[in-house]
């Protein structure tokens, strides 16, 4: 901010230095009079500068941007009229001095004051420049404020979804462990130990916007191994993850809901079932798919809160707008999920 202000001040100084130097540049090789230069060039430029900066720092903000347009016009008309009259008085004095020195014929002065209109237009130029610059700056600031507000809203929504996902995940995991306590206490102890590792990752490593894909896949593998402890031998689980994905960064906890959903709806205690999980990468694109038997959840089954997939769809829309595809379908009694994410 400080650096930008210094550049802005330097730009203003440079512009006015050029304007005040123009009479000398244009009159190179010609005889020039300092009094004539001051009267014809420096004084009008000085008036332009006053009009510009009064509007730039005070009048536009106080009247134009507060929609007091008539007051804004009136103030500037009075200001311009004052400078035109003052300039006219200075010109009269200047011409009288030249007449005394026999350097100027009064008949050569401005005929019929017709230059009044030209002067009016010339004084409008710095006013219009001030309006243009202030309007542009205000537009840029407004757009920046809108983007900042949108970004804050996005982060708030993502944080809410993130916090919503964690209790959902722990609730489902604890439900699974609870069902194992009476059947296999030793397996339940292993599950609790595994859950503690997963909780450490969720609590301490997923607060950043992006995580290495390799860390996310390690988390998914641990979760799959945890879930395998509670399924019977009739259920087979296979998974494949990329071995080298360190260069890819991805939003954390995007895939866990899909795996949860597969174990919730794709496992039966009485029927053979199979869960196939596969993730591949192509450059910066992640391809993730799951296939599992379709065993719809019974209406009296209260395990889980059912927010997982809804949460995922909302996060995808916020995190990867127009950079993801998410499809689900049922084919030959298989529930198939396909998710493609284009990371940057």
Question: 278: helix, coil or strand?
Answer: strand
Residue with tokens 């296999």: 184
**Residue 110, pLDDT above cutoff 70:** no
Q: Give the per-residue pLDDT at 185.
A: 81
Q: Give the per-residue pLDDT at 19.
A: 64
Q: Give the per-residue pLDDT at 142.
A: 85
Edge-to-edge strands of the sheet including 235-240?
235-240, 273-282, 285-293, 334-342, 324-331
Q: Give the per-residue pLDDT at 28.
A: 47
Q: Give the per-residue pLDDT at 206.
A: 78
Question: 15: helix, coil or strand?
Answer: helix
**Mean pLDDT of the region 101-122:** 56
Higher pLDDT among residues 65 and 110, named by residue: 65
Task: Read off the pLDDT of residues 145-156 as tens digits, 9 standing for 90 and up.
Answer: 777 767 666 666
**Residue 50, pLDDT above cutoff 60:** yes
* Token digits of residue 204: 């301490």
Cite the beta strand spans of the chain per DSSP E.
211-212, 235-240, 249-250, 273-282, 285-293, 324-331, 334-342
The pLDDT > 70 percentage for the chain reads 70
Closest CA to 1 of 124, 151, 141: 141
Q: Give the per-residue pLDDT at 29.
A: 46
Closest CA to 48 of 132, 128, 137: 128
Q: Residue 145: phi, psi to the nearest 5?
A: -65, -40
Average pLDDT over the chain reads 78
Q: Give the per-residue pLDDT at 120.
A: 74
**Mean pLDDT of the region 102-114:** 49
**Mean pLDDT of the region 296-319:** 68
* Distance in angstroms (rounded) separating the CA atoms of residues 48 and 125: 8
- CA distances for 92 relative to 86, 106, 138, 203, 238, angstroms: 10, 10, 42, 81, 98
Task: Read off the pLDDT of residues 232-285 as tens digits, 9 standing for 90 and up.
Answer: 888 899 999 998 766 899 988 889 889 988 888 888 878 889 999 999 998 889
User: Beta-carbon neighbour count of residue 271 at 10 Å?
Assistant: 10
Q: Give the per-residue pLDDT at 175.
A: 76
**Residue 208, pLDDT above cutoff 50:** yes
Q: Give the per-residue pLDDT at 234.
A: 86
* Token digits of residue 215: 């860390």
**Mean pLDDT of the region 56-75:** 93
DSSP string, 238-260: EEE--S--TT-EE-TTSSHHHHH
Q: Give the per-residue pLDDT at 305.
A: 46
* Positive or negative torsion for Cα 121, 125, 127, 128: positive
Task: Read off the pLDDT of residues 113-146 as tens digits, 9 standing for 90 and up.
Answer: 555 566 677 888 888 888 988 998 898 888 887 7
Q: Which long-range contacts (CB under 8 A, 24 or more apart) does 325-329 make?
A: none
238 touches 146 (CB < 8 A): no
Most confident of 27-36, 169-178, 239-248, 328-337: 328-337
80 touches 124 (CB < 8 A): yes
Instruction: Name the pTM for this structure.
Output: 0.56
* Token digits of residue 134: 């202030």
**Residue 198, pLDDT above cutoff 60:** yes
Q: Give the per-residue pLDDT at 312.
A: 85
Q: Give the per-residue pLDDT at 277.
A: 96
* Distance in angstroms (rounded) separating the CA atoms of residues 86 and 44: 10
Q: Give the per-residue pLDDT at 304.
A: 47
Q: Give the per-residue pLDDT at 91.
A: 73
Q: Give the per-residue pLDDT at 96.
A: 62
Higher pLDDT among residues 214 and 115, named by residue: 214
């Amino acid at each position: 901010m400080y650096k930008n202000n210094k550049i802005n001040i330097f730009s203003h100084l440079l512009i006015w230095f050029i304007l005040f130097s123009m009479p000398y540049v244009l009159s190179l090789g010609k005889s020039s009079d300092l009094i004539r230069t001051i009267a014809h060039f420096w004084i009008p430029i000085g008036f332009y500068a006053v009009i510009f900066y009064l509007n730039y720092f005070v009048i536009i903000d106080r009247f134009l941007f507060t929609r007091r347009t008539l007051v804004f016009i009136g103030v500037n008309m009075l200001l311009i009229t004052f400078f035109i009259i003052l300039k006219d008085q200075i010109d009269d004095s200047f011409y009288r001095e030249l007449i005394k020195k026999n350097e100027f014929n009064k008949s050569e002065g401005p005929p019929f004051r017709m230059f009044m209109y030209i002067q009016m237009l010339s004084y409008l130029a710095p006013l219009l420049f001030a309006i243009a610059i202030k309007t542009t700056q205000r537009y840029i600031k407004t757009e920046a404020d809108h983007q900042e507000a949108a970004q804050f809203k996005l982060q708030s929504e993502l944080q809410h979804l993130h916090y919503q996902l964690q209790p959902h995940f722990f609730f489902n995991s604890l439900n699974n462990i609870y069902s194992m306590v009476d059947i296999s206490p030793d397996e339940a102890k292993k599950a609790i130990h595994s859950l503690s590792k997963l909780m450490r990752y969720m609590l301490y490593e997923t607060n950043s916007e992006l995580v290495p894909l390799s860390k996310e896949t390690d988390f998914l593998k641990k979760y799959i191994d945890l879930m395998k402890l509670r399924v019977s031998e009739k259920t087979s689980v296979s998974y494949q993850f990329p071995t080298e994905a360190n260069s890819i960064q991805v939003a954390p906890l995007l895939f866990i809901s899909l795996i949860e959903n597969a174990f919730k709806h794709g496992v039966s205690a009485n029927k053979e079932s199979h869960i196939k999980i596969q993730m591949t990468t192509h450059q910066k694109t992640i391809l993730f798919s799951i296939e599992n038997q379709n065993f719809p959840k019974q209406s009296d089954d209260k395990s889980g809160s059912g927010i997982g997939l809804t949460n995922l769809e909302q996060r995808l829309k916020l995190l990867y707008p127009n950079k993801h595809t998410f499809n689900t379908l049922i084919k030959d009694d298989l529930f198939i999920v396909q998710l493609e994410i284009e990371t940057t």
